[in-house]
Structure 1
Amino acid sequence: MSRQDTRTLGLAALGGALEFYDFIIFVYFATVIGQLFFPPELPDWMKQIQTFGVFAAGYLARPLGGIIMAHFGDRLGRKRMFTLSILMMAISTLGMGLLPTYADIGLMAPVALLFLRLCQGAAIGGEVPGAWVFVSEHVPPDRVGLACGFVTCGLTVGILLGSLAATGLNLLFTEAEILERAWRLPFLLGGVFGLVAVYLRRWLEETPVFKALQQRKALSDELPLRVVIREHGQGVAISMALTGLLSAGIIVLILMTPSILQKFYGFDAATALQANSLATLFLSFGCILAGWTVDRLGSARFFTLFSPLLGIMALVMFLVLRTEPSWLYPLSALVGLSVGVIGAVPHAMVRAFPASVRFSGLSASYNLAYAVFGGMTPIAVTMMLQASVLAPAYYVLLFSAVGVGVGLYLRKSRRYDD
């Protein structure tokens, strides 16, 4: 890749990391937010339900925000929407850090919090698919996987930064100090860094692919999403199936596993969170490795060969930890590395749609599927856990099989794979 390609990748990954940090930091301070933004007379469980309801609203806003931004990204340019998404996220996160609490303005506090969370959801809905499309159209065709894997690595680093910020705040301040004002610091910091990322993205250039479409007057004359629905149903199906694989890896093995380890395997909170940070770190490396590999094997062979690895490693971890808890850290590292398979997902997705409707097709498929799986996965796994402590592994195995199925289909239909 050229020096310009490398700079583009770096700026895209940095912006993605900061934006995902802004989106995820909310969940690390859910308890504090529940105490500050809802009536004090409510029981704690009700405050937590309402807080997580506000958190979930961000996921519900993702499809709408992603579809709208993708529409204009296909009509007006990738760079404009790519910059707009991080600007929306930065302003929303900064606003959260400056919000008056329930004690200051009453019921307007949770209403304002919900509005800002919806803005965050709309922003992240445009950022993730926008980043994949943007970098894939900048780099040479045989480096698309590596470029998308690098950007996906940036997103996972954002999760790690959120975890480290929450840990650091709890080490530096007492609980009373956090409740008084220190809780604002991670949000204010995220907002400021987001504005810096907006400034840095000024140096990005529009993708050569979009410029070529403009010059040839080959942009879609009708609503891009309508073209996607009418002509690219198979691409939508492939993208949604791979989003299921991605969500199973992230939601079950990264976001849910700490609480599962505490409740069903007897680990204390500090140990479970440390193991989770280790898994997230290795996930970041795994995304880059998967992107590098998929460029050499192609999506068809990659998902056929490596999707089973994700399910097998999940099963090994949950089986071994029942009798050998001392293996927690090495198994967490290996599982995190195997979740890195998701770094190859955008390689197939960007190839599933022609350039004229690529942003709309990828964004609609990814965000709609993630909204469904993001809501369904925690509920399904929690219900399955009542029957077996191996339920998380079984769930991931199911989507590993889906990944193999996608790989076999891509192998049969070369239209969607290079």
Structure 2
Amino acid sequence: MEDTVSKPQPAKGATSHPPQPIHPKGLYKAFAASLTGTALEWYDFAVYSAAAAVVFPIVFFPASDPLTGTILAFSTYAVGYVSRPVGGIIFGRLGDRIGRKKVLVITLMIIGVATVLIGVLPSYGSIGVAAPIILVLLRFAQGVGVGGEWGGAVLLSSEYGDPRRRGFWASAAQVGPPAGNLLANGALAVLTLALTEEQFLSFGWRLAFLVSALLVGFGLWIRLKLEDTPIFKAIEAHGEQPQAPIREVFSQELRPLIAAILCRVGPDVLYALFTVFTLTYGIQALGYERNQVLTAVLIGSAFQLFLIPFAGAVSDRFNRRAVYGVGAVVGAVWTFVFFGILGGDNQPMLIIGIVLGLAAHSFMYGPQAAFIVEQFSPRLRSTGSSLAYTFAGVIGGAIAPLLFTVLLAQFNSWVPVAIYVGVAAAVTVLGLALGRDNNTVEDQDYRLLMESSPREGSGAGVGGAR
């Protein structure tokens, strides 16, 4: 359906030259708020992911068959993804209605509280079946928070920055997952080294969850000191907030939504393979020690801290879709190579394999935030981006670790797992083909509206309701 709203025009008296850049101090604060807050939330999420692979099958899902316990633990991992659309629907809409900053404060608090409660949750041996039930509910709350977080965090940094460098600035939120994964696996690795097996399973893993309270407090302090984005302030000043953003996205921007959803599937599946499934596969199938696999994931995540913003910057210089697509193809091919060269008791090869796998992921994940944001008009960006992020998580990252485990058990071979990754990469390439390239004019028009400072509420030259 054609968009019935005319492109926003500068108010009377405004010039047509590009808008003045945001003051560097505000831009850097937005970048830091997006990166640190998302990293802290993904620390919480990644602690759970790691614990689901190595702790929860014993503490919350005891069974005579280790495979059964692992499948049940990964099922609760999936709950965190399935609940994301709830957060995306609720907070994505609010991000377009009340602003990006307010939403980001709420989502950070939700995940922080849920993670601390997991840290003090009694085990199955103490309260029986109530333990895994409560665990699932808290995992659901984590997913709701993450689902509402991503869209706002991406917009916070990208709408402060130059739209011509959106790939780099939007990558701030993308650094959050590897940074959080680095912190989470690092904490678990330190605890594993410092404690005996019995101590770690008894109370050690809980410390990693409880530390979240301090980290979330730090994240809140940063976000509360930041103003909302110039783009949203311009939309708000001219009364351009959508009244029914979800309905408008589905009725007017359905193709961009489909493109944004599909492009995320490959990166989610590849990330789940190299950061979650490798923990189980390396320990149970290949005989590695827990510390060996955690160390490999730790090193791979450390490289991503630099590779993700680098890939985002590369996508600003070249076609973003092409950079993204190359990452998808390389990731699919490398998965076959990774399993082919991997063997027991060869940690250097394990480290190299995971580092290169996450490098391929970086060249999808770095440009991803900018690509998704660019699919939607500014006044629907929070809703559209959040819906795309959360819906894709359900069909991508949510079921990936579970399907990896089932496929390996069913066929006793890594080949079906690698084929699954290849199919996910093909879905991503299809999404990229359906999407559009960057359009900086949209942001510049809203920036000009903000700089022209029209009389509040006048709505001069800014289209009517959709």
> CA, structure 1 residues 261+34, in 2 after alignment: closer, same or farther (shift >3 Å)?
closer
1:367 aligned to 2:375?
A: no
The structure with more radius of gyration: 2
Tell me if 1:54 matches 2:76: yes
Deviations, residues 284-343 of structure 1 (Å, cap 9, x unaligned): 322111111111113233234443222233333333336995643333322221210212
CA gap of 1:315–1:32, structure 2 versus 1, over 3 A, is closer
1:12 is the counterpart of 2:37: no
In structure 2, C-alpha distance between the alignment counterparts of 1:168 and 1:393, rounded to whole Å: 31
Q: Where does 1:48-197 land on structure 2 (aligned, <5 Å)?
A: 50-101=72-123, 108-197=130-219
The whole-number CA distance in structure 2 between the counterparts of 1:100 and 1:241 is: 39
CA 300–417 in structure 1, closer or farther in 2 if over 3 Å, else same: farther
Specify the code of the residue in structure 1 equivalent to 2:267. Answer: L
Deviation at 1:244, TM superposition (A): 0.5
Q: Bigger shift: 297-306 or 355-364?
A: 297-306
Cα distance in structure 2, aligned partners of 1:239 and 1:122: 20
Distance 1:69 1:408, change over 3 A: closer
Aligned-residue RMSD, C-alpha: 2.9
The answer to which structure has the higher helix fraction is 1
Q: Any residues of structure 2 matched to 1:231-246 within 5 Å, and which?
A: 231-246=252-267
Per the TM alignment, residue 127 of structure 1 is displaced from its structure 2 partner at its CA by 1.2
1:344 Cα deviation after fit: 1.0
CA-CA distance at 1:229 after TM superposition: 0.8
Question: What does residue 303 of structure 1 align with?
Answer: 324
* Distance across 2 between alignment mates of 1:164 and 1:382: 24
Residue equivalent to 2:360 = 338
The answer to whether the 8 A contact 1:149-1:291 is kept is yes
* Contact persistence 2:371–2:437 (CA under 8 A): no
CA shift, 1:133, in A, is 2.0
| CA distance 1:268–1:105, change in 2 (3 Å) | closer
Q: State the distance in 2 between where 1:265 and 1:36 align.
A: 23
| Counterpart pick for 1:280 among 295, 301, 307 | 301
Q: CA deviation at 1:232?
A: 1.0
Kept in 1, the 8 Å contact 2:373–2:385? The answer is yes
Which has the larger displacement, 311-320 or 337-346? 311-320
Letter in 2 for 1:153: V
User: How many residues are paired up?
Assistant: 413
Distance in 2 between the 1:182 and 1:258 partners? 18
Give the structure 1 partner of residue 426 of structure 2.
Answer: 401
C-alpha change, 1:32 and 1:392, in structure 2 (3 Å) is closer
Distance in 2 of aligned mates of 1:273 and 1:320: 19
CA separation of 1:262/1:35 partners in 2, compared to 1, >3 Å: closer, same or farther? closer
| 1:138-158 per-position Cα deviation (integer Å, ceiling 9, x unaligned) | 111022111222321122110
SS of residue paired to 1:183: helix
* CA distance 1:56–1:304, shift in 2 (3 Å): closer
Instruction: Measure the CA separation in 2 of the matches of 1:397 and 1:417.
Output: 33
Point out the more displaced range, 167-176 or 49-58. Answer: 49-58
Counterparts in 2 of 1:374 and 1:405: CA distance versus 1, 3 Å: closer
Q: Deviations over 1:65-97 (max 9, x none)?
A: 221011111111111001110011111122222
Kindly indicate whether residue 278 of structure 2 is the aligned counterpart of residue 257 of structure 1: yes
Give the counterpart of 1:358 among 365, 378, 381: 381
Q: Structure 1's 44 and 27: CA in aligned 2 closer, same or farther, altered over 3 A?
A: farther
Q: Which residue type is aligned with residue 219 of structure 1? A: Q
| Greater RCO structure (CA 8 Å; 6+ sep) | 2
Secondary structure class of the residue paired with 1:204: coil
Identify the match of residue 389 of structure 1 among 409, 414, 417: 414
Residue 377 of structure 2 is aligned to residue 378 of structure 1: no
Structure 1 stretch 68-77 or stretch 396-405: which is displaced more?
Answer: 396-405
Contact 1:283 1:338 in 2 (8 A): no
- Is the alpha carbon distance of 1:51 and 1:264 closer, same or farther for their aligned partners in structure 2, counting shifts above 3 Å? closer
Which of these residues, 231, 241, 246, is aligned with residue 209 of structure 1? Answer: 231
Q: Distance in 2 between matches of 1:316 and 1:52?
A: 25
- Farther off after superposition, 363-372 or 77-86: 363-372
**Structure 2 vs 1, CA of residues 184 and 271 (structure 1 numbering), >3 Å: closer, same or farther?**
closer
Tell me which amino acid in the other structure corresponds to 1:346. Answer: A
Unpaired stretches in structure 2, ≥5 consecutive residues:
1-21, 442-466
Letter in 2 for 1:4: G
Deviations 1:213-236 (A, max 9, x none): 011111112x21111111111111
Return 5+ residue gaps in structure 1 as ranges.
none
Contact 2:104–2:149 (CA under 8 A) maintained in structure 1: yes
* 1:3-37 CA-partner distances (Å, limit 9, x unpaired): 22112111221111111111121233346455555
Deviation string 1:204-259 (CA, Å, 9 cap, x unpaired) is 110111111011111112x2111111111111111111110221221123322343
Contact 1:150 1:291 survives alignment (8 Å): no
Q: Which stretch of the first structure deviates more once superposed, 161-170 or 270-279?
A: 270-279
Matches of 1:172 and 1:390, distance apart in 2: 37
Alpha-carbon distance in structure 2 between the residues aligned to 1:53 and 1:304:
30
The alpha-carbon distance between structure 1 residues 191 and 33, as it changes in their structure 2 partners (threshold 3 A), is farther
* Equivalent position SS for 1:218: coil
* Cα deviation 1:96-115 (Å, max 9, x = unaligned): 22344556655554443333
- For residues 157 and 41 of structure 2, the distance between their equivalents in structure 1, rounded to whole angstroms, comes to 16
Partner of 2:460: none
Amino acid across the alignment from 1:351: E
Kindly indicate whether the alpha-carbon contact (under 8 Å) linking 2:265 and 2:397 is maintained by their aligned counterparts in 1: no
Calculate the TM-score normalised by the size of structure 1: 0.88
Q: How does the TM-score come out when normalised to structure 2?
A: 0.80
Given that residues 163 and 277 in structure 1 are in contact (C-alpha distance below 8 angstroms), is that contact kept between their aligned partners in structure 2?
A: yes
Partner Cα separation in structure 2 for residue 203 and residue 276 of structure 1: 34
Amino acid at match of 2:152: G
The corresponding residue for 1:312 is 333
Q: What CA distance in whole angstroms lies between the structure 2 residues aligned with 1:362 and 1:216?
A: 22
SS at match of 2:198: helix
Conserved? CA contact 2:60–2:132, under 8 Å: yes
